[in-house]
Amino acid sequence: MPTNDISGYEKCNGCGLCTLPCPIWQQRHDALLTFAGRARALQGGAKPGEIRDSVDACLLCGSCEPAFAMDIRTVDITLKLRAALNGYSKEELPHGQVNQSSSGRALLVPNAALLENKDLLKHSARLLDIPVAEDNGSDVLEAFETGRRPKAGRAVSFIKTLTGIRKVITADGLLKRYMQAVLPGLEVIGLGEALLRLPGMQTALRPTDLYIIEARSYNMDFNRCMPFYTDISRQTGCAMNLDLQRIAIPTGGYTNTETGNEFTPQNTGQIRWILEGRSFNRIVVESVEDIGLLKNAEVDIPVVHVAELAGEDAP
């Protein structure tokens, strides 16, 4: 068995706070399928193979991490468990060097859904005034997410494409976590946040909007993102997919279904939970996948991508 240090789970005291924002909990209400359940099972002597269903079910949305009163890197532990179950060690991850000089470039790294939506990709890149990465590393990221070994040399070749890069803007929050592991120090920002920081974008949000944050990006960077988005919500009056703990509720739309979890594009349970009990006239999304999810949920309200707010007059 390759070495995957999964230490950290032993700190779990069973408080259950991590289950509150967990999308798997929200949909299934089965404690064993949550991080708390995995931690308790491991504490009780279960082997990783005995909790495979639970390990596979996780969306890696990171909503459990900021919920913890203790400092437990829940997603890292789950990723290591996945790797261990696939006979791969996270210690095999390559490591690169970040260009720390201010002359380094910024780069937009799209995910598969944004690549498919060429107009939106072009529009986003133009707004941000940065080039689009030729290699988005989606296969490398998929291997990272599923805990499998990437094709020989692919991780290294992908990282090489980031040589000289100072800052990455990503459409997939999981890339933040990957970069933290392989290129620590590289500044990685979610596409939604990057666009919202452009002049005039925030003022285009209306009090009658529901703004759906890409949860992986937000939750991984909770301490920085939470005040930023909370301020926007307070200033514009728009609602957001934040729970009472100010953790982003994931839609599940950007999850790799290869892992065996149940969040296919047809699973609209989470999006329905986000919409329930709220009144709004427009939905603004950061993640392209969420446009499809909302369509599948037959939501009869206009949906726009955050990039499409550019040029709108303030309400």
Partner 1 sequence: MKQDEFNTTKLPRGIIPPDPVGPDSLKGVPRQQTNPSRWDGTGWNAFVAELTSRDIMINQSLAGRSVYITDGGGVAMGLPRGVLVARSSEDVATILKAAQKYTVPVSVRGGGLTTEGECISFGGLQLDTRGMSNVLHIDEANLTVRTEAGIYWHSLAEALRRRGLDYISAPLNMTSSVGGTLGVGGIDINSPKFGCSADQAIALKVVTPTGEIVECSERENTELFERVLLGYGQFGVITEATLKIRPFTPITMHYFYYSSLRTAIDDLRFLVEEEAADYLGILTMLDRAINLLVAFDSDEKEREFFSRYKKRISGLGEIGFAIHMAAHYALHPWKAKEALYLLERKRSLLPELSPAAHMHGNKIIDRTVVFSRAVWKFWGDREMVIPDLATSSEKFAEAVERGNEVCRRYFPHYTLYCVGIKLFGSFENRPRYELSCIPPDAQNFGYGCEFEPMLGNHNYSRDHFQSFKNEIYDIGVDMGTSYYRFGGMMKGYIRRAFGDELVDKHLAMKQKADPAMILNPDVIF
- 56 vs 172, beta carbon nearer partner 1: 56
Pick from 73, 149, 167, 246 the residue near partner 1 by CB under 8 A. 246
Pick from 153, 185, 207, 227 the residue near partner 1 by CB under 8 A. 227
Pick from 6, 51, 84, 189 the residue near partner 1 by CB under 8 A. 51
Pick from 22, 64, 121, 226 the residue near partner 1 by CB under 8 A. 226
- 245 vs 266, beta carbon nearer partner 1: 245
Q: Contact between 13 and partner 1 (CB under 8 A)?
A: yes
Q: Contact between 104 and partner 1 (CB under 8 A)?
A: no
Q: Are 260 and 57 in contact (CB under 8 A)?
A: yes
Apex CA 171: angle with CA 231 and CA 217, to 5°? 45
Residue with tokens 């509720």: 249
- Binding mask of the shown chain, residues 277 to 296, with x at each position contacting partner 1 by CB under 8 A: xx------------------
Structure tokens at 201: 């974008």
Pick from 3, 5, 29, 301 the residue near partner 1 by CB under 8 A. 29
Structure tokens at 30: 């089965």
- 16 vs 292, beta carbon nearer partner 1: 16
Give the shortest CB-12-to-partner 1 separation in angstroms: 9
Q: Contact between 93 and partner 1 (CB under 8 A)?
A: no
Which of the ranges 7-15, 108-116, 120-128, 156-164 carries the binding residues for partner 1, by CB under 8 A? 7-15
Residue with tokens 């006979």: 87
Separation CA 52–CA 114 (nearest Å): 31
Q: Contact between 271 and partner 1 (CB under 8 A)?
A: no
- 14 vs 200, beta carbon nearer partner 1: 14
Pick from 8, 16, 104, 292 the residue near partner 1 by CB under 8 A. 16
Helix 74-85 crosses helix 35-43 at what angle (to 10 degrees)?
A: 70
Q: Contact between 7 and partner 1 (CB under 8 A)?
A: no
Q: Contact between 224 and partner 1 (CB under 8 A)?
A: no
- 10 vs 258, beta carbon nearer partner 1: 10
Q: Are 171 and 113 in contact (CB under 8 A)?
A: yes
Q: How far is CA 78 from CA 44, 119, 245, 313, in A?
A: 17, 36, 22, 44
Separation CA 105–CA 305 (nearest Å): 25
Residue with tokens 């095999």: 92
240-244: Cβ within 8 A, 24+ apart: 240/210, 240/211, 240/212, 240/213, 241/210, 241/211, 241/212, 241/213, 241/215, 241/274, 242/213, 243/20, 243/21
Could you list the residues that contact partner 1 (CB under 8 A)? Answer: 11, 13-17, 19-20, 29-32, 36-37, 40-41, 43-46, 50-51, 54, 69-70, 226-227, 230, 243-246, 276-278
